[in-house]
Amino acid sequence: MSDELNNQPLWTGDYYNQGTGPNDIFDTLKEECGVFGVYGHSGAASLSYYGLHALQHRGEESCGICVSDHTEFHYHRGMGLVKEVFDKETMATLTGDISIGHVRYSTSGSSHLGNAQPLVFRYRAGELALATNGNIVNAPQIRRELEEMGSIFQTTSDTEVLAHLIARSSKPLVEAAKEAFRRIVGGFAFMIMTNEQLIVASDPNGLRPLTMGRLGDAYIFTSETCALETIGAEIVRDVKPGELLVLDQNGLHEDFYTEPQRKALCSMEYIYFARPDSDMNGANLHSARKRMGSMMARESFIDADLVTGVPDSSISAAIGYAEQTGIPYELGMIKNKYTGRTFIQPSQELREQGVKMKLSAVRRVVEGKRVVMIDDSIVRGTTSRRIVNMLRDAGAIEVHVRITSPPFKNPCFYGIDTPDRRDLIASSKTVEEIRQEINADSLAFLSREGLIEAVGGDNKDDYKGGMCMACFDNDYPTQTDFGGEEQFGCGC
Ligand code: SF4
């Protein structure tokens, strides 16, 4: 190792190639978190292990599983990937047939074990474990009010805010949980566990995905259906907006804690976050992404020698673009899968080259060619510029960028870690200005209408296809102004 690298700090609290700070190499949006719950299976912990493994792309920072044997909790949490945090010995201690599990992506400054979920508490009625995916917009306001009333918080997670609301209530758990859910505003998929019950709830707009499955007599809940496939469970249905499900010895109780609002599932799940083998709102994501690529071709065709997609999320859309136009799809870029967790800070020189650590252009494929490069989004623009330049360095004679989402202009309040509005390139620049900034020969974004049509291709249940598109059109489905105390991004 060179002296230069030796002199770099080894650990700064953020994985340098995963964060969204201004010095990060990759400025893509970050997955939020994933949740997985089991009720009524003696192998609940192993199912959770495999389920969380399937949801690993939603959060690589920390993970945890809490299991109940109806007498006491057994739980384990750790920093790192599921396969690193759990070993055979640990798994053997996680006995019981009710469980909740979590994978977490941490926002800057909150990378420590204390925030790893499930969070476990002891309160007047016994043990309580909670896990969530999403963000509570009014969490800072509620937290301040609770602190003024004497509550002491141990974490920075929104999940603890809900735990305090429940613990302060004198009502039975289910009623206390309903009251707490009515108090919070945001996008969330919550799981609450005691030694007798599993409670699962979705926000009133269904912003974050949550699906129910069955494995024999057991009930399974997961952020994405790919985890059901992994454990051999069947998809039953999505948890509905505003719904609260209770599982106990008497079976499943279906209820609502509030009136459902307009369905607004996060459109970025379709575009980028979720695995292509998952289904959401009845649509398979690989198929939906192919339709986005096909729609993109119809909206902004450009003649070229080959189409390539930025791996992995844009490959489906690139195939759709190629099928629609007849331009061959080629593997113009390769992703290095082993850059996920690196602790050594790069030198400035390496930082400039940084994108090549994660992506490489296939020179023999792109050399001398006019390339259409499909990507899912442009956040700050820095990654797009690096990828375009990488293709040019490898010999591409033209690089035409096609983005399968509208311009990303507004921060997310519902669980996606986005930069401030001023750092979102599309919030202040025109398409032509962005094209110049990323050094592309041409640039086009998928229209809002095109996205709706592509996603709603086999399921269109209300306007916008039941999607939130606030980061594109500023139409947030909930209140977002809490007198300056509102919280955006991810609150897990
Ligand atoms: S604002 Fe954008 S990223 Fe956030 S939930 Fe809505 S569509 Fe998803």
Annotated binding site: 266, 313, 375-376, 412, 468, 471
Q: Which of 327, 395, 394, 401 is nearest to 359 (CA)?
A: 394
Positions at the binding site for Mg(2+): 313, 375-376
Q: Which comes out higher in pLDDT, residue 371 or 490?
A: 371
The confidence band for 282, taking pLDDT boundaries of 50, 70 and 90, is confident
Q: Pick the residue whose CA is nearest to atom 8 on ligand 1.
A: 266
- Please tell me the pTM assigned to this model: 0.90
275 within some domain: no
Same-domain status, 256 and 302 = no
CA of residue 91 relative to chain centroid, distance = 26
Looking at the fold, whether 45 and 105 belong to one and the same domain comes out as: yes
Q: Measured in angstroms, how far is the CA atom of residue 245 from the centroid of ligand 1?
A: 25
99-108, 170-179, 245-254, range with the lowest pLDDT: 99-108
Contact 136, 82 (CB under 8 A): no
Is there a single domain that holds both residue 204 and residue 128? Answer: yes
pLDDT over threshold 60, residue 266: yes
**Which segments of 300-362 does DSSP mark as H helices, in order?**
315-325, 348-352, 355-358
Question: Which residues have a Cβ under 8 Å from the Cβ of 177 and sit 6 or more positions away?
Answer: 166, 192, 199, 201, 244, 257
The yes-or-no verdict on residue 277 having pLDDT over 60 is yes
Any domain includes 489: no
| The pLDDT value given to residue 421 | 86
Q: Which residue has 């296939």 as its token pair?
A: 362
Residue 18 lies in a domain: no
Question: Is 33 an annotated catalytic residue?
Answer: yes
Q: pLDDT digits over 309-318, tens only? A: 999 889 999 9
Count of domains for the chain: 2
**265 C-alpha vs ligand 1 centroid, how far in Å?**
8
pLDDT at 487: 77
| 485 to 119, 135, 274: CA distances (angstroms) | 24, 14, 30
Kindly tell me if the per-residue pLDDT of 56 is higher than 80. yes
| 15 part of a folded domain | no
Residue 394 is part of a domain; what is its CATH number? Answer: 3.40.50.2020
Residues with CB under 6 A from ligand 1: 187, 207, 266-268, 412, 414, 416, 468-471
Residue from 262, 263, 266 whose mutation best tests the ligand 1 pocket (most atoms within 8 A of CB): 266
Residue 273 in any domain: the answer is no
471 is written with which tokens? 């980061």
Residue 278 lies in a domain: no
Q: 175 and 116, same structural domain?
A: yes
49 and 162 fall within a common domain: yes
> Which one of 210, 408, 469, 487 would you pick to mutate in the ligand 1 pocket, going by the greatest count of ligand atoms within 8 A of its CB?
469
User: Which residue type is seen at 481?
Assistant: D
Q: How confident is the model at residue 15 (pLDDT cuts 50, 70, 90)?
A: very low
254 and 324 housed in the same domain: no
154: nearest Cα among 164, 169, 165: 164
Instruction: Quote the ligand 1 centre to 155 CA distance (angstroms).
Output: 25
Cα–Cα distance for residue pair 143/12, rounded to 1 Å: 28
pLDDT score at 224: 97
Catalytic residue among 33, 63, 66, 490: 33
Q: How large is the angle between the packed helices 382-393 and 431-438, nearest 10 degrees? A: 50
What is the C-alpha separation between 253 and 176, in angstroms, rounded? Answer: 16
CATH code for the domain in which residue 184 is found: 3.60.20.10
User: 111 and 228 in one domain?
Assistant: yes
Report the pLDDT value the prediction gives residue 21, as an integer from 0 to 100: 35
Other C-beta atoms within 10 Å of 482: how many?
Answer: 15
Q: Is the pLDDT of residue 172 over 50?
A: yes
- The separation between CA 116 and the C-alpha centre of its own chain, rounded to angstroms, equals 16
How many angstroms separate the Cα of 286 from the Cα of each of 152, 198, 207, 264, 276?
Answer: 45, 32, 20, 20, 4
Residue 393 CA to residue 79 CA, distance in Å, equals: 38
Q: What whole-number distance in Å separates Cα of residue 483 and Cα of residue 457?
A: 39
Domain extent at residue 102: 34-261
List residues bridging with 284 in a β-sheet: 279
pLDDT digits (tens, 9 = 90+) for 185-201: 999 999 999 999 999 99
pLDDT of residue 18: 32
Strands 211-215 and 333-335: unpaired
